[in-house]
Amino acid sequence: MTNIVILTGAGISAESGLGTFRAENGLWAEHRVEDVATPEGFAKDPALVHRFYNMRRAESAKASPNAAHEALARLEARLAGDVTVVTQNVDDLHERGGSQSIIHMHGALAGSLCAACEHRWPSAFETTPQDDCPSCGRQHTRPDIVWFGEMPYQMERIYQLIGQADVFAAIGTSGNVYPAAGFAHEARRLGVHTVEFNLEPSMVVTDFVETRYGPATETLPRWVDEMLER
Ligand code: BV8
C-alpha cells in the first residue's frame, strides 16, 4: 500500500501548449497579476478579468492532455494505494487525462461563482459581468478561481492527505506561491519521501530528497513505470 500526493503546477500543462506564469512569454508577462488575479483587480475592472479567463478557457479547450497527465492517471488506476492530484492549475487537463481523484486548490475555469450569494455553477464558455446568478439573480458573477489574498480550497483535506502519504511529488511548479509551495516542507517534516519534477530546481528544491529534471512528458512516464514495478 503506497499513498501518493501529487502537487502539479503550470509546468505539467506547458507541453499541452498552455502558458505558464513565470516564463518570459508567460501569462503574467502580458497581464499584471494585480489586474487579473486579485479581488481588487476584479472590483476595479470585472470585464477585463472576465476577458482574461474567457481567453484561458478558450486556450484550455483547444489543448489536449499530454503524456504526463496520462501517466498520473495510469498510476492512480494501477497502484495499490491512494493517488491524489492536488493541482494549482485551473485547466481540466487532469480530468481529460483520466485522473479521478483531483483537488483544484486554486479553483477551476469550469466553475462560476456569485460574489454576492456564493452560489456555484458550471461556467459558460464565455462569461461577462452582466451574467445573472442562477440563484439570486444579481449580476456579481466571477470565475470560481482563487486569487491572490484568497484562501485556497480544501486546505484541511490536503494537509490530512500529506499526513497519510508515503510519497509527495511536485510536478511543474516553481515554488513561488504559498501555501502550495510549503507542502513539500510539511511532507518532509513528516518523513514523507519528497520528489520534484521540473526543468530546473524550483524555489523550494531544498525540501525535496529526490529531483528529476527534464520535460514532464519524459520524466513522469518513466517514474510511473518504476512505481508500478516496485
Ligand atoms: C493566501 C489561480 C491567505 C489564478 C493562482 C509574501 C510571502 C509569502 C506569501 C505571500 C507573500 N505575499 C503574499 C503572499 C501570499 C500569496 C503568495 O504566495 N504570493 C507570492 C507571489 C509571494 N498567496 C496567496 O495569496 C494565496 N492565498 O495566501 O491566502 C489567506 C489566509 C487567510 C484568509 C484568506 C487568505 C493564494 C494564491 C493563489 C493565487 N492563484 N492561480 C489563475 O490561474 O489565474 S496562483 C498561480 O501561480 C498558480 O495557480 C500557481 O499557484 C502559481 C505558481 O504557478 P506555477 O504553477 O508554479 O507556474 P510557474 O509558471 O510559476 O512555474 C512553472 C514551473 O514549471 C517552472 O518551475 C518551470 O520550470 C516548470 N516547467 C515548465 N515546463 C515544464 C516544466 N516542468 C516540467 N516539464 C515541463 N515541460
Question: Is the Cβ–Cβ distance between 10 and 18 less than 8 Å?
Answer: yes
Measured in whole angstroms, how far is the alpha carbon of residue 135 from the centre of its chain? 28
Task: Please indicate whether residue 140, judged by its CB atom, sits closer than 6 Å to ligand 1.
Answer: no
CATH number at residue 184: 3.40.50.1220
pTM of the model: 0.96
Q: Looking at this protein, which amino acid is placed at residue 78?
A: R
Say whether both 173 and 207 belong to one domain. yes
Q: Mutation test of ligand 1: which of 7, 16, 21 has the most ligand atoms closer than 8 Å to its C-beta?
A: 21
143 closest CA partner among 176, 174, 104, 109: 109
Task: Please indicate whether residue 167, judged by its CB atom, sits closer than 6 Å to ligand 1.
Answer: no
Say whether both 116 and 97 belong to one domain. no
Name the domain count of the chain: 2
Q: For the chain, which residues score pLDDT lower than 50?
A: none
Q: How far is CA 135 from CA 54, 108, 143, in A?
A: 22, 20, 16
Indicate the length of the chain as a whole number: 230
Terminal Cα distance for the chain, rounded: 11
Say whether both 139 and 164 belong to one domain. no
Report the C-alpha gap between 73 and 65 in whole angstroms. Answer: 11
Say whether both 221 and 197 belong to one domain. yes
Say whether both 25 and 95 belong to one domain. no
pLDDT for residue 21? 79
Say whether both 53 and 74 belong to one domain. no
User: Hey, what's the cell of 169?
Assistant: 511529488
Say whether both 128 and 169 belong to one domain. no
Neighbours of 41 (CB within 10 A): 20
Q: Which of 126, 145, 164 is the last residue of a domain?
A: 145
Say whether both 129 and 77 belong to one domain. no
pLDDT for residue 31? 79
pLDDT for residue 23? 72
CATH number at residue 137: 3.30.1600.10
pLDDT for residue 48? 92
Say whether both 167 and 58 belong to one domain. no
User: Hey, what's the cell of 32?
Assistant: 499584471
pLDDT for residue 30? 77
Atom of ligand 1 nearest to the CA of 200: 69
Q: Mutation test of ligand 1: which of 177, 205, 207, 222 has the most ligand atoms closer than 8 Å to its C-beta?
A: 177
Question: Is the Cβ–Cβ distance between 159 and 192 less than 8 Å?
Answer: no
DSSP 3-state assignment of 55?
helix
Say whether both 47 and 71 belong to one domain. no
User: Hey, what's the cell of 47?
Assistant: 470585464
pLDDT for residue 169? 98
Q: Which domain holds residue 35?
A: 19-62+110-145
Query: Could you tell me the strand order of the sheet in which 120-122 lies?
Result: 120-122, 107-114, 141-145
pLDDT for residue 187? 98
Say whether both 123 and 202 belong to one domain. no
Report the C-alpha gap between 188 and 180 in whole angstroms. Answer: 14
Output the CA 115–ligand 1 centroid distance in Å.
22
33 closest CA partner among 47, 49, 57: 49
User: Hey, what's the cell of 227?
Assistant: 512505481
Say whether both 169 and 127 belong to one domain. no
